């Protein structure tokens, strides 16, 4: 069958709808693969960004405030921004936080309370590509700041006033070393097996330590899976709300970012299911059947399909596991 001729023979509306559906189907071209071992399907990744804050404790101002108020010397502390307002430095700091919240967290799952996170091998290349781009942008923004730094120091003399101290300002070259963007990878032990333990402990105590390590490992895996369930619940709840239509037939505004995130989460349910959770796989297949071939444009043009999808997703949300499992 010649798809091009078929589309060209349709009306403009039907042809556009068919193109939207074909594009949507491409997003669900996910191969079915058996669940690999944990150590071969995931790794630990840590992202850290450091930067100069331009904040210093002013010892004289601190002493003056405490003395004036008849307080002990450590009751109040005066911290000053030695550059005053600096948009170029603020941009660097905000960018580093944005990378953590919208890139690093988006591709990974929690592992420890803070710091290292779980990254699947299937998601490694997308993650590494995005983070490498972010790393390059981070250092570009640092260069922008450094280019204006000397002028900012001159300007700070007026802004900081009597608290200005030229000795508190590093040279431009030394300042560059205060900025860093790091991504580190580490292997994930399989099943909590920490390898050859050579601790100088009695056998019973060593077994207790090993059991505790294995238990912590399983708790971290469960926490990672629970985080994925929570993200799915939040996303589907938002998507259902956007699919709603009022009594006058006017639908809520739908955002491509929300729907596309749903598709991303289905992929994460496939690649991040390192524990082989049958409930997660069943839910993934259920949602894939509901969303297969759809996108925001298709749903906007077909009110009946929109309502059916809303009902299916509402039922799926009700079937999600409790988040306090």
Picking from 228, 83, 229, the residue whose alpha carbon sits closest to that of residue 156 is 83
- So what's the pLDDT on residue 76? 75
Terminal CA-to-CA distance of the chain, rounded, Å? 51
Helix (H, G, I), strand (E, B) or coil at 34: coil
Kindly state the DSSP code that residue 247 receives in the 8-state scheme.
T
- So what's the pLDDT on residue 99? 97
DSSP code per residue over 151-202: HHHHHHHHHHGGG--GGGSPPHHHHHTT-EEEEEEEE--STT-------SS-
Q: How many Cα atoms sit within 13 Å of 6 on the Cβ side?
A: 6
The most confident of the ranges 30-39, 193-202, 284-293 is 284-293
Region of poorest pLDDT, from 13-17, 68-72, 111-115, 253-257: 13-17
pLDDT digits (tens, 9 = 90+) for 294-308: 899 999 999 999 999
pLDDT at 196 over 60: no
Higher pLDDT, 3 or 269: 269
User: Per-residue pLDDT averaged across 258-273, rounded?
Assistant: 89
- So what's the pLDDT on residue 240? 96
User: Per-residue pLDDT averaged across 277-283, rounded?
Assistant: 93
Higher pLDDT, 25 or 229: 229
User: Per-residue pLDDT averaged across 145-167, rounded?
Assistant: 90
- So what's the pLDDT on residue 8? 45
CA distance 238 to 258: 8
- So what's the pLDDT on residue 274? 77
- So what's the pLDDT on residue 199? 64
Picking from 51, 136, 48, the residue whose alpha carbon sits closest to that of residue 91 is 51
Q: Do 155 and 201 meet the contact criterion of CB atoms below 8 Å apart?
A: no
- So what's the pLDDT on residue 23? 54
User: Per-residue pLDDT averaged across 200-217, rounded?
Assistant: 74
- So what's the pLDDT on residue 135? 97
Percent of the chain residues past pLDDT 70, beyond the cut: 82
CA distance 223 to 179: 32
Higher pLDDT, 251 or 2: 251
Q: How many CB atoms lie within 10 A of CB 148?
A: 14
User: Per-residue pLDDT averaged across 211-235, rounded?
Assistant: 85
pLDDT digits (tens, 9 = 90+) for 112-152: 767 889 998 888 999 999 999 999 999 999 999 999 999 99
User: Per-residue pLDDT averaged across 82-100, rounded?
Assistant: 94
The most confident of the ranges 26-30, 119-123, 157-161, 168-172 is 168-172
Helix (H, G, I), strand (E, B) or coil at 66: helix
pLDDT digits (tens, 9 = 90+) for 17-46: 544 554 554 555 444 444 445 667 788 999
Percent of the chain residues past pLDDT 90, beyond the cut: 46
- So what's the pLDDT on residue 197? 59
């Amino acid at each position: 069958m010649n798809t091009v001729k078929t589309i060209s023979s349709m009306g403009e509306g039907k042809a556009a709808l068919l193109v939207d559906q074909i594009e949507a189907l491409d997003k669900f071209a996910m191969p079915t693969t058996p669940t690999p071992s944990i150590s071969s399907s995931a790794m630990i990744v840590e992202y850290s960004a450091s930067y100069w804050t331009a904040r210093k404790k002013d010892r004289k101002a601190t002493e003056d405030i405490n003395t004036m108020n008849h307080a002990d010397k450590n009751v109040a502390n005066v911290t000053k921004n030695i550059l005053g307002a600096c948009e170029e430095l603020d941009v660097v700091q905000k960018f580093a936080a944005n990378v953590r919240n919208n890139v690093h967290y988006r591709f990974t799952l929690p592992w420890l309370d803070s710091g290292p996170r779980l990254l699947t091998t299937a998601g490694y290349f997308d993650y590494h590509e995005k983070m490498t781009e972010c790393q390059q942008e981070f250092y570009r923004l640092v260069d922008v700041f450094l280019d204006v730094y000397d002028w900012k120091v001159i300007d700070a003399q007026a802004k900081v006033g009597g608290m200005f101290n030229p000795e508190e300002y590093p040279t431009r070259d030394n300042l560059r070393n205060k900025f860093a963007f790091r991504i580190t990878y580490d292997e994930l032990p399989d099943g909590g097996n920490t390898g050859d333990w050579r601790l100088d402990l009695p056998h019973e105590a060593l077994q207790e330590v090993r059991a505790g390590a294995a238990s912590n490992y399983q708790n971290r895996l469960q926490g990672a899976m629970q985080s994925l369930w929570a993200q799915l619940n939040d996303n589907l709840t938002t998507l259902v709300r956007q699919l709603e239509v009022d009594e006058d037939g006017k639908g809520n505004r739908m955002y491509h970012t929300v729907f596309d995130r749903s598709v991303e989460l289905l992929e994460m349910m496939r690649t991040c299911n390192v524990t082989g959770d049958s409930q997660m796989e069943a839910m993934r297949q259920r949602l894939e059947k509901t969303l297969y071939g759809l996108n925001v444009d298709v749903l906007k043009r077909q009110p009946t399909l929109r309502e059916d999808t809303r009902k299916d997703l509402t039922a799926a949300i009700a079937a999600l596991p409790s988040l306090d499992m």
